[in-house]
Structure 1
């Protein structure tokens, strides 16, 4: 696809999904026509990012450079696209690498689109959504996707996933640990299969209890295995365990992967075949799979469909928040008050602080669930709330969005420990601080948990400061709130933020003209 083929004003919108996988980087460009996705262009570049991940989970400089070089190429293709029309998802290797922040910082300098690192369960959800939208099926199905560093499993009905799991086993990582330098032997196969079975053990009971009527395989590893089996004429349709074991026996005739010359096996897949086959055999045996069909849709297609949904204002994150509200019996009335106040403050300051729709959504979400930790204990509620949000499965949220929610809720009251605010690739520190200030003020101003408590107010903002206008006559009647606002000024001053409340200053000066505040 070239820039000449991009749509004119008023035409169906073009969108792109980029999948930074552990083996390959993929890019898919599509357009949305009447709510449906038309795929227009695909690019795939072998990167083998997982190959550069050592035992200490540090990504090598060579692997980082391979990834950055491909991003440069993708950036050229995506040059005409607006940022909101492109979604970039990073999976296992950047999820696990201790120095992933280094990769993300360097990527920012040459790739103008934000990179979202997602959890394994979120990866499985996207894969399931890609399959569910690609081909309708009446009944429950199990979806398996063997990637370079992890393998995802999902069970669902129609568009609704019911079980999601990501296991730390992939064709690149297992190739490196079990079939090093491309060597093939029965012992290597047995060792790889046993380790994969051990990795699957924790999910076997749950998945088998859920049950399914169809098993679907996706992506390159399973496609290659299917193509080889069909190329040999062993099957013209589904793959079963006898086909997989027959292929294993055939491969044991060789001593090295480079000797393989099989129908459907490309050069770049030779070193990954044995490891991918071992994982698939283990899955068949542990989950008692009878047969599997291949569908040519996966994570990136799932991302495209979710982008289309958001364009139609159908955001799965809203469903996720409502699910948390119900599950943890959150006080919806108080959450509504805090959310309304936070978003009202946001409207006053968004232009000065250059905040957009995404920041408003995340602030609203944080206000919705800031008291989720009451489910554990009212003492230290902010810590309990942050723990739940940090560790819960939150469909629709990438890792940084989930970390930001946890961070905002963690410091919505009491001290702000600046050294505990995590590094964010997608959000600059001033943005995090500004959202935190808005949430803290919204919580503080609604401490009486009453609908008729707050008067009309306004706010103005500048860099690292906010001025809050409250009616002096109203503030005079709020002795506890007055003391809390004075303390809030002191707390924010410690992180170099100035909170100015003229009515508070006037009130304190009237009570004691010699008194100085931090306002």
Structure 2
């Protein structure tokens, strides 16, 4: 395994992607060779997290332990890797579970890499990118990935996704509710297919209007169904609706999935076959799919390619921010002023507050879109901005990064409500507070919206304090700003944070002397 020293000497860097899926946990190790991804090692462990998700969305202790046990094994394999060389993505079950924070807290004690919970649309985007990079296709392509708890649909052209959707139907969750203990019957198949069709109904028109020239399936479920159909000699490769219906009719000869002995069907897939087949039949019927081929690439490959892009400073999040700026007609000049001040402050406090490049980047993104809420109303702009960021589709951002952006923007002005700050697994509360204070100061200092306004800024940071040196001669005529800075000191004091501005203290003392005389 390549060490950090070897990577610094120019050897091809090793990277790893870990996919904490609802059915299985996957790990892929690769290296970047001349800008391309060379896959070296794959590992898969069946966990079935979705099996432990109750109807009220609470993850069972048994499921949590199964997941943690696999993470222990993965941690051993990934021991030589630097933190920035590993990306860990969690999907449907940890996205939906009410107690996912419990799993993430316990995982921290035994797994040294941050776990990113992503949205369904982000999951679909990664899956599409994995297929697009893995196998070139010149036309538009529909990609379907049947997971344990959800099924992702992505439609795009070349490397550009055009439609993304995640539907709450998966082979584990449907198996548990519609084919319990592996029971097979015509009535169960019909119910599962109708339920899947109802889940698909909202996206059908949108996808069919765009259209596609190729349909692709990427999951283990699709591979299993393809292998069975090919094993029976019904097809040489591509799946058609007639093959799926023929397989359903064959399965109806049995009363239980455990009794199945089919070509290409492994023991660990027996209880998932009927539910996966039902979902695929519904997709074929609702989307009018003629043929579907299997491609051996999915979310984790998409993650690897995005890691490679970031190493080459091609970050899709930059495109996402630019898209928001254009869509909501954000004042770009003011956003640049605030962003520039943010980065000036970060450069001086990063060592004291242990801020890294990723922290600075997320903070600059928050500065860019802090005024996005003006699109709704100037009154309470911070609330409107936070609402947009919390609910928008932000390609490239995991759920906690999106929540952090919304949190920073929500409290970038006026009062800080400590009890409303969300819990973060990836970010310590102290860091969230520090980032928030930098953004607040940057916004406050640029309130005149002028390029030639600010003096050279000098700051020093402490554990729960920041000292800002402003020239007295510059601050003295700025009555409104001085009043706002005094108010900011009071706001920060309420969260046990000290904002020290010597020139402001001196100015206040002068005013007291003048008023008393």
1:11, 1:364 → 2: CA distance?
32
The more displaced of 7-16 and 500-509 is 7-16
Aligned to 2:324: 324
CA distance in 2, matches of 1:501, 1:347: 19
Q: Distance in 2 between matches of 1:182 and 1:244?
A: 19
Tell me how far 1:36 sits from its aligned partner: 0.2
Residue correspondence of structure 1 range 235-250 to structure 2 within 5 A: 235-250=235-250
- Counterpart Cα distance in 1 of 2:469 and 2:347: 14
Query: Could you say what secondary structure the match of 2:19 adopts?
Result: strand
Cα distance in structure 2, aligned partners of 1:61 and 1:252: 35
Partner of residue 342, structure 1: 342
- The Cα offsets for residues 149-179 of structure 1, whole Å up to 9 and x where unpaired, read as 0000000000000000000000000000000
Match of 2:145 in 1: 145
The reply to whether residue 71 of structure 1 matches residue 60 of structure 2 is no
Deviations 1:249-273 (A, max 9, x none): 0000000000000000000000000
8 Å CA contact retained: 1:457, 1:471: no
- TM-superposed CA distance for 1:10, in Å, is 2.8
- Cα distance per residue 1:487-514 (max 9 Å; x no partner): 0000000011100000000111111149
CA distance in 2, matches of 1:437, 1:282: 51
Please list the CA deviations of residues 37-93 of structure 1 after superposition, one character each: whole Å capped at 9, or x if unmatched: 000000000000000000110000000000000000000000000000000000000
Q: Which residue of 1 aligns with 2:430?
A: 430
Corresponding pairs, count:
514
Aligned to 2:357: 357
1:201-350, aligned counterparts within 5 Å?
201-350=201-350
Unpaired segments ≥5 residues, structure 2 = none
Distance in 2 separating the partners of 1:190 and 1:497 = 61
Given that 1:144 and 1:151 are in contact with CA atoms closer than 8 Å, whether structure 2 keeps it comes out as yes
Alignment-derived partner of residue 81 in structure 1: 81
CA distance in 1, matches of 2:98, 2:496: 30
5 Å-filtered alignment, 1:126-205, equals: 126-205=126-205
Q: How far, CA to CA, are the matches of 1:352 and 1:19 in structure 2?
A: 34
Secondary structure of the corresponding residue to residue 408 of structure 1: helix
Q: Distance in 2 between matches of 1:27 and 1:86?
A: 10
Report the equivalent of 1:389: 389
Asked whether the equivalents of residues 224 and 264 of structure 1 are also in contact (C-alpha less than 8 Å), the reply is: yes
Per-residue deviation, residues 319-360 of structure 1 (Å, max 9, x unmatched): 000000000000000000000011101111000000000000
Q: Distance in 2 between matches of 1:327 and 1:424?
A: 29
What residue is the counterpart of 1:12 in the other structure? 12
**Maintained 8 Å contact 2:92/2:150:** yes
| CA-to-aligned-CA distance 1:97-136 (integer Å, 9 cap, x gap) | 0000000000000000000000000000000000000000
Distance 1:453 1:158 in 2: 46
Distance 1:129 1:3 in 2: 26
Deviant stretches of 4+, over 4 Å? 6-9
> Secondary structure of the equivalent of 2:504?
helix
Relative to the length of structure 1, the TM-score reads 0.98
| CA distance in structure 1 between the aligned counterparts of 2:504 and 2:194, rounded to whole angstroms | 68
- Give secondary structure in 2 for the equivalent of 1:51: helix
Say whether the 8 Å CA contact 1:7–1:14 is kept in structure 2.
no
Q: Displacement of 1:457 after TM fit?
A: 1.4
- TM-score between the two structures when normalised by the length of structure 2: 0.98
| Inter-partner Cα distance in structure 2 for 1:7 and 1:435 | 34
Taking the aligned partners of 1:227 and 1:418, their CA distance within structure 2 comes to 55
* Matches of 1:174 and 1:36, distance apart in 2: 38
Q: Distance in 1 between matches of 2:462 and 2:236?
A: 67
RMSD of the alignment, in Å? 1.3
Partner Cα separation in structure 2 for residue 513 and residue 399 of structure 1: 52
**Does the residue aligned with 1:291 lie in a helix, a strand or coil?**
coil
Q: Which string of whole-angstrom CA distances, capped at 9 and with x for unpartnered residues, describes residues 300-325 of structure 1?
A: 00000000000000000000000000
SS in 1 for 2:207: helix
